Amino acid sequence: MATSIGNEAGQHTGDQSGFHLIHEGPQALVARAVLIDETSVSVDLQYYIFSDDTSGRILTDKLLQAADRGVRVRLLVDDLGTRLNNPWVTPLDNHPNIEVRVFNPVEGQSRIRRGLEQLLNLGRINHRMHNKLLIADGIAMITGGRNISDGYFTSADVEFLDVDTIAIGAILPEAAKTFDEYWNHQVSVPASELVLENEDAHTLTELRDRLQQRLHEEEASEFFQAVKDSSLAQDLAQGKVSFEWGKATLLADPPDKAAEPDRIPITEYPGYQLEQIVRKLQQRLQISNAYVIPGEPGMNLFTELEKRGVQVDVLTNGLSSTDTAAAHGGYSRYRKPLLRAGVRLWELRPAAEREHRMHWFKDKSRATLHAKTFVMDSDRGFVGSINLDSRSIILNTEIGVLIENREINRQLQELFQTWTAPDSAWRLELDSEGDIRWRRTDDDGEEIVKDKDPNSTLWQRFLTGILAYLPIESQI
């Protein structure tokens, strides 16, 4: 690991951890590439999605380079999120310094066999590993909401707005312990033990050849320019990145939540632990989250906070910016109750302009919110992978960090204000008859009011209306 990062961590002993937030997509890719480049001992990665696209190939190449210089690489991916869609991950396992494991795999690779397995073993298969974690040399880590796929780093038809944090210091041993628990769990199966269809089986040589060919073709892409031109790479290597220090808590589900959920008390779930922290807030709670389906417990919590004078603000996706119709259907049932409870509610606009985007991104893209952040009072913040729905809270495994630092709190609050500005989001309100109105102002200060989900079609509204009342809330 770069001595500058190691020195920075070494200057703060005891229970202090340092954090540097990243909300720009290109910077998030650069940070991962730099940490892998700077490793000298080990790099551990745990991801729900690791795609075979430009960003995935860049990081795959970085992992191979690290392994070639003697670094031990461990890659743990979720089977449903990765293996079926990226057969170029498992060939990494053929490198003597790389081991790939697949979490909670589905038997069989063919569509028919996998489909049967999912039907016959839904109780097991329904629990997925949604964690996002990279640990470099046990000294620095990255966690947050981003998977390894182009859209999370701002290059696709859909731009995911998200937040990660680089962390160093006291929190690292706990993160390493969590990774090891997943890595050594009985449902984390070595890739070498999984039988692939012939057309999906590739050698390490084939992987290297394909990487070189595809990366050469993509040299002019925005991602290569990001890795080449971003100042973050040099700043990280030279110790110029500022870290905010304070106490921190790693909130991570045990892997048995997916394997043997009946054995795990709910008190060990990060969602439950977050709820206990939120209940004690005195001033404000600002939530940015892709999916907000609070259920009765969440509604009771928000109502209790509002009655105590705690202002609750929520930003989530609208019908035109969501990537999951079922999730929006579930959320739409709670919009009026949330507003009646006093929650201030915003929905992201799909074509939100990003004035702060890096200079090489010229085109507009459809935006969808993927971040999972909390601003708590004026001194704490949370960054992680946890959505506010039953799937994240009860079914999937998740991870995140609770950071006790006023500057991190301020940065997350500033980002929330940027994302809820009129050029980025609609503000929802109830009119005198109790119906929802979507409001924002245009560039000239003129108010725009909509009485239906903005930028949506009749079919979209009909479909989500049906989905809103199907008994599937516990699965989304």
For the annotated catalytic residues, the residue numbers are: 130, 132, 137, 370, 372, 377
Of 329, 323, 314, the C-alpha closest to 427 is 314
DSSP state at residue 185: S
Paired strand residues for 382: 374, 402
- Rounded Cα–Cα distance for residues 62 and 54 (Å): 12
- Rounded Cα–Cα distance for residues 315 and 348 (Å): 7
Phi, psi of 269 (to 5 degrees): -80, 135
Cβ neighbours, 10 Å, residue 233: 19
In the structure encoding, which two tokens stand for residue 338, read together? 């949330």
Contacts of 370 (CB under 8 A, 6+ apart): 145, 146, 152, 160, 161, 162, 290
The angle formed by the CA atoms of residues 342, 426 and 150, to the nearest 5 degrees, is: 120
> Helices in 309-374 by DSSP H: which ranges?
325-332, 335-340
- Distances in whole angstroms, Cα of residue 315 to Cα of each of 26, 211, 416: 23, 39, 8
- Rounded Cα–Cα distance for residues 474 and 123 (Å): 13
Rg (CA), the chain: 22
Of 39, 469, 21, 50, the C-alpha closest to 237 is 39
What SS3 string covers 398-420?
CEEEEEECHHHHHHHHHHHHHHC
Burial of 336: CB neighbours in 10 Å, binned 0-12, 13-18, 19+: middle
- Rounded Cα–Cα distance for residues 473 and 130 (Å): 18
Torsion from C-alpha of 138, 141, 147, 149, nearest 10 degrees: -90
Of 150, 156, 220, the C-alpha closest to 364 is 156
Contacts of 159 (CB under 8 A, 6+ apart): 25, 151, 354, 365, 366, 367, 368
